[in-house]
Amino acid sequence: MSVLGMTAVLGGCGLGGDSGDVTLRLVAADYGDSASNSSRKYWDALVKAYEAKHPGVKVDVSVYSWNEVDAKVRAMVDAGKAPDMAQIGAYADYADEGRLYSTADLLSIPVEADFLEPLADAGVVDHIQYGIPFAASTRVLFYNKTLFTEAGLTPPKNWSELAADAQALKSRGVKYPFALPLGSEEAQAETMQWLLGGGGGYTDDLGSSYTLDSAENISTFTWLRDNLVAKGLTGPVAPAELNRADAFAAFANGDVGMLNGHPTLIQQAAKKGVKFGTVAMPGRTGKAKTTMGVADWMTAFKQNGHRDQIGDFLDYVYGEKNVLAFSREYDLLPVTNSASKVMEASKQDQGLRPFLEELPLSTLYPVGNTSWATVSADIKKRIGRAVAANGSPGAVLGQLQAAATLAESGK
């Protein structure tokens, strides 16, 4: 994501002749990696088309990089100047503070009913949906086809096969037989993917209580430490020091045999000419029962009282045409059933099919917990130690559990 901090102020004018002129302020995250594909261009085109049909509504859009957008919105809210809408990474803290409209307050019934079920469920706090899914992705196992063919390997279906394949790749001099990024950038994602494959996860089945130090989770990280890291199958950089972006770059350079990846790796690898395949992430004894899903969120703040205008604008934002345009521009998965069905049937979206297939059955971060941001940051900071040479998965996960319980209690 590039640091653009751009603001687009786009003219227009109402939701109805008698509603008076209304200006809606939207803060959005930038999904582009350069000025040429900044999210500002997407919002420019969308808002221009919307305003042409609604001559009493003006929409001012500010676009910020992912490095700063959440902090920008928090500063606005704390200063008593909340935007009407914010497209950001989390929503539960604002919902808990009573600042947000619910989806039922805003959206038409057809639009509200069109969201994919696991994404809609992840937007719920205290049985009410406040988080509106905006973009999604899942993870699958990427493997280097050239390296696999040269070693006479087939993609792994379980952890034992994964370790055996990694050992074979190592014996042929592959730099990263399996890249395991548990560095501070996105360790919470890699961790969750492995926990799910081991039959565990971050929370209980209801998503209400953290279970970081469960027997399943400790067993998973013990396996990683003993069967991948200790045997030198994760490459020259310790997992605690390896970030996701660096692992992706190494894969695109042909230095990685396997890793867990999301859709953006497709273009990154293809640009470098790396021949790759994808399969469902292996679990302990077979295909993992569920994979990790990730969603970003649209939120609507009550402060300025523009409920009707916000709802009408968001109904437009979530129209099939607009959802498809955004998803295709940034290699992300659509959050609606209607757009997903179009992409599943379309030849141009063939590369995304493995991810689309995983999304309806995916498990998302416990974003409905107001403590999740704190817990996630703690996981990024500590989890890499669990697989170090002298690391204790039980001790590290126990520390994370204690801190999570404290965060959840609000103390």
Q: Residue 10: what pLDDT?
A: 30
Q: Would you place residue 74 in the very low, low, confident or very high pLDDT band (cuts 50, 70, 90)?
A: very high
Residue 212 lies in a domain: yes
Q: Which of 165 and 184 is assigned the larger pLDDT?
A: 165
Residue 361 lies in a domain: no
Residue 301 lies in a domain: yes
CATH number where 159 lies: 3.40.190.10
Q: Would you place residue 196 in the very low, low, confident or very high pLDDT band (cuts 50, 70, 90)?
A: very high
Q: How far is CA 181 from the centre of its chain?
A: 16
User: Mean pLDDT across the chain, nearest whole number?
Assistant: 91
Do the beta carbons of residue 197 and residue 281 sit within 8 Å? yes
For the stretch 303-321, pLDDT in tens is 999 999 999 999 999 999 9
Q: How many CA atoms lie within 13 A of 300 on its CB side?
A: 25
Q: Would you place residue 16 in the very low, low, confident or very high pLDDT band (cuts 50, 70, 90)?
A: very low
Smallest CA-to-CA distance from 258 within 188, 156, 343, 332 is with 156
Whether residues 166 and 114 fall in one domain = no
Q: Give me 188's structure tokens.
A: 């919470």
pLDDT of 122 above 80? yes
Smallest CA-to-CA distance from 337 within 128, 50, 120 is with 120
pLDDT of 202 above 90? yes
**Mean per-residue pLDDT for 188-209?**
91
**Mean per-residue pLDDT for 345-351?**
91
Whether residues 208 and 195 fall in one domain = yes
Q: Residue 360: what pLDDT?
A: 82
Residue 86 lies in a domain: yes
**Mean per-residue pLDDT for 380-396?**
95
Whether residues 216 and 234 fall in one domain = yes
Whether residues 116 and 230 fall in one domain = no
Helices (H) and strands (E) in the chain, counts: 18, 13
Q: Would you place residue 411 in the very low, low, confident or very high pLDDT band (cuts 50, 70, 90)?
A: low
Residue 362 lies in a domain: no
Domain count, the chain: 2
Q: Residue 34: what pLDDT?
A: 74
Q: Give me 244's structure tokens.
A: 């996701």
Q: Residue 102: what pLDDT?
A: 97
pLDDT of 184 above 60? yes
Residue 19's domain comprises 7-136+295-355
Whether residues 275 and 324 fall in one domain = no
For the stretch 27-67, pLDDT in tens is 999 988 778 888 999 999 999 999 999 999 999 999 998 87
Residue 2 lies in a domain: no
- Express as a percent the part of the chain with pLDDT over 90: 75
Please, what is the Cα angle at 235 between 229 and 240, to 5 degrees? 60
**Mean per-residue pLDDT for 383-395?**
96
Q: Which of 358 and 277 is assigned the larger pLDDT?
A: 277
Whether residues 273 and 321 fall in one domain = no
Whether residues 219 and 190 fall in one domain = yes
Whether residues 239 and 377 fall in one domain = yes
pLDDT of 112 above 80? yes
Contacts of 76 (CB under 8 A, 6+ apart): 27, 82, 83
Residue 78 lies in a domain: yes
pLDDT of 205 above 70? yes
Residue 1 lies in a domain: no
- Express as a percent the part of the chain with pLDDT over 70: 95
Q: Residue 208: what pLDDT?
A: 74
pLDDT of 290 above 90? no
